[in-house]
Copies of this chain bind each other. A is one copy, B any other.
Amino acid sequence: MSDAKPSENIVWQKTTVGRSERARVSGQRGAVLWFTGLSGSGKSTVANAVETRLNELGRMTYLLDGDNVRSGLCADLTFSDADRQENIRRVAHVSKLFWDANLLTLVSFISPFRAERRLARELVGGDFIEVFVDAPLEVCESRDVKGLYKKARAGQIPAFTGISSPYEAPEHPEIHLRTGEESLEQSVDRVLAWLRDKGYISAG
């Protein structure tokens, strides 16, 4: 094939098995729960706990973690601005594929910029649920599970979100968790309640 942009010789392959057929098999419809927040805000902890609860309810789930994806699909990317953007683009496309497969997909990802979260929302299309995992910087820094804040303060990590690079808080997240004030149990309950309310999981 040529080096021309790929669109030229491509025919979209209409698959015989679509979302509705898959939904009949799985008995559920997909959604993308996009957890955003500072490092240490509890994104992964809450996402994991929500996934566990959904699994106990017999729901099919998958968790795409910023870190996990970085070690595979996005292993070629650095943390430069351009590569962070590309990272988001790929994760958004992959979560769209999982949404299309009707899985309840959880994405845990600092994603500090409004523009990148807007891009993810646009790429995914429907059923994009922005979950703002909100905790004060002091709380996140005092947790410092991975020791990253210490490194950032020491100037060993340039452009670290919250320290030397901004975190742009979501303006209209579908779900706003305050993990500095509420317990993990409460956060999880609130996500589950939202999913029930919107019909992603049954009320039973």
A contact residues vs B (CB 8 Å cutoff) = 1-7, 9-13, 15-17, 21-22, 25-26, 44, 48-49, 51-52, 55, 58-65, 67-68, 70-80, 84, 86, 90, 93-94, 96-98, 100-101, 103, 108, 123, 146, 148, 151, 157-161
Contact = CB atoms under 8 A, between A and B. Distances in A.
A161 B9 CA distance: 14
A146 to B, nearest CB: 5
Contact of A2 (B44, B52, B72, B159): B159
23 contacts: A1-B79, A1-B157, A1-B159, A1-B161, A2-B78, A4-B78, A6-B70, A6-B71, A6-B79, A7-B71, A10-B67, A13-B44, A13-B65, A15-B51, A15-B63, A16-B48, A17-B55, A17-B61, A22-B62, A25-B59, A26-B60, A62-B100, A72-B96
B1 A158 contact: yes
Contacts of A73: 90, 93-94, 97
A134 to B, nearest CB: 20
Contact of A9 (B6, B55, B75, B148): B148
B79 A3 contact: yes
A22 B60 contact: yes
A158 B48 CA distance: 48
Nearest to A62: B101
Contacts of A51: 15-17
A108 to B, nearest CB: 8
A97 B62 contact: yes
Nearest to A1: B79
B90 A52 contact: no
A158 B9 CA distance: 12
Given A21-B55, A48-B16, A55-B17, A2 B61 contact: no
Nearest to A7: B71
Contacts of A157: 1-2, 9
A6 B78 contact: yes
